[in-house]
Chains A and B, each alone.
Chain A
């Protein structure tokens, strides 16, 4: 398989009392090997649930209603969504790992750090107690935890957010997975700790050859850590490109609005740039482009027909009527 992960036409539904809402609509993207891929979008855009769907972590009332997710596993190409419980469990923590936003609640408060790291090893590897403890120690040192021997015996509530996030990363990487999914890993951390963690993740990515999916709403984090990025809006991918192209050759009006809003903060001379209006409420999707109402460049067709995600330049996709397949502006 050329790519490590191929997400194809994923749609995710949320069941309400008598109906359902489509929270992710026909989402597709590919992750390459040893690549850091960013998924950026604001709250409710569908980025987190898409990430959770990869490892079948969605539960009632959320459900993947269509699509496939192909992964280049050790046993060959598999559709992750078709795997049975015991098969997907074999991959979780082993070939694909995930770290979450709130380190304080992602670790079980009643187990020591050693027990939590070793739990993963027990399930996936066949080692004795001492070998597992050595691996755990080694991993803690690699993620930059001081006094690793002591920390092994401590409990989550005794440690700070930054430390816990490092431990989460340790648990996630201990089996040397091919893919690490990081869902807003630094959002809950202070900015000086965030800097530490992002630097750590960049270093580890190099030494472990792991692909990382970095989910965030912070464009600054994307700029610092990712090679390629997909922008989500209202359950769809609206732009996908290499990071430099996204920032300097922005195609979709939402992306450029976002960039302008973010960078204008800090420049006192001008009034802040804003994107007027709000994200359409789930369940009331317009028949045309979902961003049309807030778009300064909207034309008639935008209200009538929904645009497809097309390649406007090599490696640069966009979902907007401003562009057509050959790459010329309309």
Chain B
């Protein structure tokens, strides 16, 4: 029985909307609107959804890079939200973030060597010799060569920069890594290189991942469990294979059918969702998918469905069930 490393309970992150001359708060953006999930040790848990669904904000809220509004986040036994700023800074050596954009997530004025030494200098008291060893070790692990240590980020390609980003996150040997769309900004032929690297690193260093992506194929490949998000809420959650083989929520079904097939001779039957995503500012009280769902009923307009267990770990939030 796997131990739970991270548990998120009823997480909410709201952003105030200020307007008027005196910048009064008139409304709130419900970026993350009450989500809960558990991540087991050495597992990859995916958060999938389209832009604006709150998956990125969730990832950053767990790490308190964005301060959540309410909820409970338990990491390795500690309630992360109750830690002081200094305690949190110390905890960061175990909880790292990999960014989406390899072009803006590395300081252009620092060499690779300095970028990799920085996490070590921040958390450990190491001699230069010890740091050099660690740097060499991580460069090798991510597939970069040592003669590249004195170079600057702009001298590398997107894929290589992402490797540097990964190295920087992993060098402090964290237990838990949130990967925020780590391959979305890369070319297709490089995506597979980086995904392979992430999988390898997980096995070797016994890492636990929360993997955020909008790309369903990538999610299917890399994750054990997945949660589908829409407008700040989880609409379906469970084991990856189960969700992909048997999607129950209409949004999940539409999402899966929207991915273009890679074979021109096999045209897919599409479920097209009409309309657009509603605004996360003061969201509607009923089901967030109400206006776009073909199977909507009257109860869907009034009542926001809660997650119900369907089968084992498969949960879905829909009045159809």
Contacts and interface: CB of A to CB of B under 8 A. Distances in A.
Touch test A–B (CB under 8 Å): yes
Interface of A: 42-43, 146, 160, 162-163, 190-196, 198-199, 217-224, 243-244, 247-248, 257-259, 261-268, 271-276, 278-279
A218 B260 contact: yes
B221 interface: yes
State the majority secondary structure of interface residues on A.
helix
Interface string B170-205: 000000000000000001111111011001000000
Contact of A244 (B189, B220, B264): B264
14 contacts: A163-B276, A190-B277, A191-B216, A198-B260, A199-B272, A244-B264, A247-B263, A247-B265, A248-B265, A261-B191, A265-B221, A268-B221, A274-B192, A276-B193
Contact of B259 (A191, A258, A263): A191
Contacts of B190: 274, 278
Contact of B196 (A218, A244, A263, A272): A272
Given A160-B277, A192-B50, A278-B159, A262 B188 contact: yes
Nearest to A160: B276
B263 A274 contact: no
Contacts, number: 116
B154 to A, nearest CB: 12
B255 to A, nearest CB: 6
What is the size category of the interface that chain B forms with chain A? Answer: 35 or more
Given A221-B260, A223-B261, A223-B263, A266 B50 contact: no
B21 to A, nearest CB: 20
Contact of A265 (B218, B267, B277): B218
A192 B273 contact: yes
Interface string B141-170: 000000000000000011110000000000
Contacts of B257: 195
Nearest to B220: A266
Given A190-B214, A223-B262, A257 B50 contact: no
A191 B50 contact: yes
B217 interface: yes
Contact of A259 (B51, B191, B255, B262): B262
B270 interface: yes
B264 A243 contact: yes
B192 A42 contact: no
Interface string B238-275: 00010000000000001101111111110100101111
A43 B263 contact: no
Nearest to B268: A224
A43 B192 contact: no
B189 A42 contact: yes
A261 B259 contact: no
Contacts of B272: 192, 195-196, 199
A151 B206 CA distance: 53
A223 B260 contact: yes
A232 B157 CA distance: 19
